[in-house]
Amino acid sequence: MALIKRGVTFLMIIMSAIHVSNASVHKVGDSSGWTIIGNIDYKNWAATKNFNIGDTINFKYNAQFHNVMRVTHAMYKSCNGSSPIATFTSGNDFIKITNYGHHFFLCGVPGHCQAGQKVDINVLNVSATSAVAPNKSPSALASPVPVANAPAAPSPNNASPLFVANGAFGFIGLAMTVFCIFYF
């Protein structure tokens, strides 16, 4: 049952990822995941990424030792997880970004946020910031969002969006499906 639920969740993630153009999955901490081991600089990790609406943030961790709490800026700054906006505990959480601005997360296990297990996902409004030079790292500037290359949105009455997607996007969908088959 749990397996089916996870499969369905995955399918929904895939479908939403395909539906929104240039959506991607960002695994927090990359191969290290969400942890206090190794003094990972999550601020640095976030600075190298380009977050867009429709993207998914993946927190991968051992659920016995960690969790994920979405919090306010004040709570993020003070590492206060006493009243989170949302709490995630699966050990492999996928959180979709649906709005612009800062999204603050921390590990609610005592001491972990203080040890650096906190991340600020800042989703820039590209159209609003493109006129002003954003104060970002060179790598972020070097990879602008490929808005111009995005395929034209299909009309709602066309075939299922699942099969309209092509190119890199179809490949990602295929890769994720293959991943699902082997993972579950």
Ligand X SMILES: *[C@@H]1O[C@H](CO)[C@@H](O)[C@H](O)[C@H]1NC(C)=O
Binding site for ligand X (CB under 6 A): 78, 80, 82-83, 100, 125, 127-128
Q: Is 145 helix (H, G, I), strand (E, B) or coil?
A: coil
Question: For residues 83 and 135, which CB has a smaller minimum distance to ligand X in the complex?
Answer: 83
- Type of residue numbered 23: A
CB atoms within 10 A of CB 41: 12
**Residue with nearest beta carbon to ligand X:** 128
Question: For residues 10 and 100, which CB has a smaller minimum distance to ligand X in the complex?
Answer: 100
Question: For residues 16 and 72, which CB has a smaller minimum distance to ligand X in the complex?
Answer: 72
The residues pairing with 25 across neighbouring beta strands, listed in sequence order, are 56
Question: For residues 132 and 181, which CB has a smaller minimum distance to ligand X in the complex?
Answer: 132
Q: List helix spans (H) across the chain.
A: 2-19, 42-47, 73-78, 126-129, 138-142, 161-164, 167-183
CA atoms within 13 A on the CB side of 107: 26
Q: How far is the CB of 78 from ligand X (least distance, A)?
A: 5
Q: How far is the CB of 125 from ligand X (least distance, A)?
A: 4
Q: How far is the CB of 166 from ligand X (least distance, A)?
A: 28
